[in-house]
């Protein structure tokens, strides 16, 4: 696959992870939050399976994969990590994902709900993806439709996830993160997956409980 990150050095990843954790802690303290409320998820879409041991050496424990087949392969080879599914969710892949992911971040269709009803268990927990910016062609439930969608969910919805419009300026994402936080509070949902390598500190200030960080951890 194009774009794979190989040759990871344990010391480089360890140092980068420490810097990211400190930025998370600083952002949390700035917002009057406990840094322990925020989980660091390492996004590993571009990390080959054979390189994942370096992440364990760096103290990373929670990994997120975007593709069902890669999740199955990586989680089977490295079962000591906790695994989340963070990619666009195809309903036909739900059955494949469920045995390996403790949390799916991207539920956003009724067809996915039907597959969760068919293959999920009482322990199944998901996040609903919300298109807070109203971007055409982008996955996610419209904010106005969230309440009805939650009522149709056959499994436990623990919170919400969003991907704001890409911007070089982290501050541009703040209003979208704040909107997601307000939606979650309105519906009594405690978990917020938001923020990536370029804007995770702003996400933490706005209430993120999970930040999905990739390139910042790998020196890419």
Please tell me the predicted confidence (pLDDT) of residue 219. 79
* Topology (CATH) of 10-218: TIM Barrel (3.20.20)
Q: Which of 203, 147, 212, 214 is nearest to 180 (CA)?
A: 203
In the predicted structure, residue 220 carries a pLDDT above the cut 80 = no
| Backbone torsion region of residue 219, taken as left when φ is above 0, otherwise alpha when ψ lies between -120 and 50, otherwise beta | left
Do 171 and 163 contact (CB within 8 A), yes or no? no
In the predicted structure, residue 119 carries a pLDDT above the cut 80 = yes
Would you say how long the chain is, in residues?
A: 220
Q: Mean pLDDT, to the nearest integer, of 174-193?
A: 98
Q: Hunting for tokens 């593709």 — which residue is that?
A: 67
Q: Structural domain boundaries of the chain?
A: 10-218
Question: Which H, E and C letters describe the chain, residue by residue?
Answer: CCCCCCCCCHHHHHHHHHHHHHHHHHHHHHCCCCHHHCEEEEECCCCCHHHHHHHHHCCCCEEEECCHHHHHHHHHHCCCCEEEECCCCCHHHHHHHCCCCCEEEEECCHHHHHHHHHHCCCCCEEEEEECCCCCCCCCCECHHHHHHHHHHCCCEEEEEECCCCCCCCHHHHHHHHHHHHHHHHHCCCCEEECCCCCCHHHHHHCCCCEEEECHHHHCC
Mean pLDDT of the residues in the chain = 96
The band of 111, judged by pLDDT with boundaries at 50, 70 and 90, is: very high
**Segment 42-64, tens digit of pLDDT:** 999 999 999 999 999 999 999 99
Q: Hunting for tokens 């892949």 — which residue is that?
A: 93
In the predicted structure, residue 1 carries a pLDDT above the cut 60 = no
**Segment 122-180, tens digit of pLDDT:** 999 999 999 999 999 899 999 999 999 999 999 999 999 999 998 989 999 999 999 99
């Amino acid at each position: 696959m194009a774009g794979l990150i190989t040759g990871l050095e344990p010391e480089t990843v360890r140092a980068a992870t420490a810097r990211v954790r400190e930025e998370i802690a600083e952002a949390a303290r700035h917002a009057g939050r406990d840094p322990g409320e925020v989980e660091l998820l390492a996004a590993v879409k571009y990390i080959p399976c054979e390189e994942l041991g370096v992440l364990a050496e760096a103290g990373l424990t929670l990994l997120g994969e975007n593709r069902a087949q890669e999740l199955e392969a990586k989680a089977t080879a490295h079962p000591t990590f906790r695994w989340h599914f963070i990619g666009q969710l195809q309903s036909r892949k739900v059955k494949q994902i469920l045995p390996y992911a403790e949390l799916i971040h991207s539920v956003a269709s009724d067809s996915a709900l039907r597959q969760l009803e068919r293959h999920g268990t009482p322990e199944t927990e998901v996040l609903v993806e919300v298109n807070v910016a109203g971007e055409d062609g982008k996955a996610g439930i419209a904010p106005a439709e969230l309440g009805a969608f939650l009522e149709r969910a056959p499994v436990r919805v623990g919170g919400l996830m969003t991907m704001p419009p890409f911007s070089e300026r982290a501050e541009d994402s703040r209003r979208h993160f704040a909107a997601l936080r307000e939606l979650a509070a309105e519906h009594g949902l405690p978990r917020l997956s938001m923020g990536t390598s370029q804007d995770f500190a702003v996400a933490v200030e706005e209430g993120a409980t999970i930040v999905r960080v990739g390139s910042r951890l790998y020196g890419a």
